[in-house]
Amino acid sequence: MLEIFSVDLSETVEKERVERLFSVVGPDKAARLRRFYRWEDTLRGIYADLLIRYILIRQKNIDNRDISFSDSEYGKPFLSDFPQFHFNLSHSGRWVVGAVDDYPVGIDVERIVPIDLDISKHYFSPDEHLDLVNQPDPQTYFFTLWTLKESYIKIVGKGLSLPLDSFSIRFQGPADIRIKGGGDIIPGIFFAQYEIDCQYKMAVCARHQDFPPAVRPVTTAQLIAAFLDR
């Protein structure tokens, strides 16, 4: 069953308690997180890891010490002990989001910021670029397209070896979003958009149309309590 979660990082948490969370994610992940130059990037990374552990522990009734992540040849993490547990994570600004499903899933969230729209010529298909320049608010629409395209790339799981301009997002209706590749609609790919914050865009890509009606919030306090206050 597809479920979507969000964590709002705007809540203030004592740095000492966050430091204790490094022991939860394991030495290898902790070392990678500590190499980030900005503390905000470290926070996003550690809460993303905690979120998927939090979900997994509750759904599979296992101990955190028994969770072991592996990476595909393209660097996409997965759980070899639970081949039917698919997940994906994304973070931007104040938000960490995650999706879990019985089938491959992709999710992306992006903060809407000013951007040079000319870059769309390099990352979007000609049809998408034309759609973009004809929008009343092209800046916002850029991130609508970007999150949809990123969520598709993440469900495929091949990273940027799949060029962003090799496929097109097509709106066939307000809630009917499809994807074209090689001139044809790609079957078995479905999208949903969720609004968690007016300053962000968020999209989910799934292999079916059973999208949940809403995103489930998880607080940083819940995550910390789950791992430190037992």
Is residue 9 within 8 Å of 220, Cβ to Cβ? yes
The per-residue pLDDT for range 79-109, each reduced to its tens digit, is: 878 888 999 999 999 999 999 999 999 999 9
Amino acid 160: pLDDT: 67
CATH number for 3-228 (one of 3.90.470.20, 3.40.718.10, 3.30.2420.10, 3.30.930.10): it is 3.90.470.20
Amino acid 195: pLDDT: 95
User: Alpha-carbon distance 220 to 210, whole Å?
Assistant: 28
Amino acid 218: pLDDT: 95
Ordered by start, the domain boundaries in the chain are 3-228
Sign of CA pseudo-dihedral 136, 139, 142, 146: negative
176, containing H or E segment: strand 176-181
The per-residue pLDDT for range 198-211, each reduced to its tens digit, is: 999 999 999 999 99
| Helix runs in 62-125, H state only | 120-123
Q: Within the chain, which residues score under 70 in pLDDT? A: 12, 159-160, 174, 229-230
pTM of the model: 0.93
- Closest C-alpha to 56, from 3, 111, 125: 3
Amino acid 171: pLDDT: 87
Amino acid 205: pLDDT: 97
Amino acid 230: pLDDT: 61
Amino acid 36: pLDDT: 87
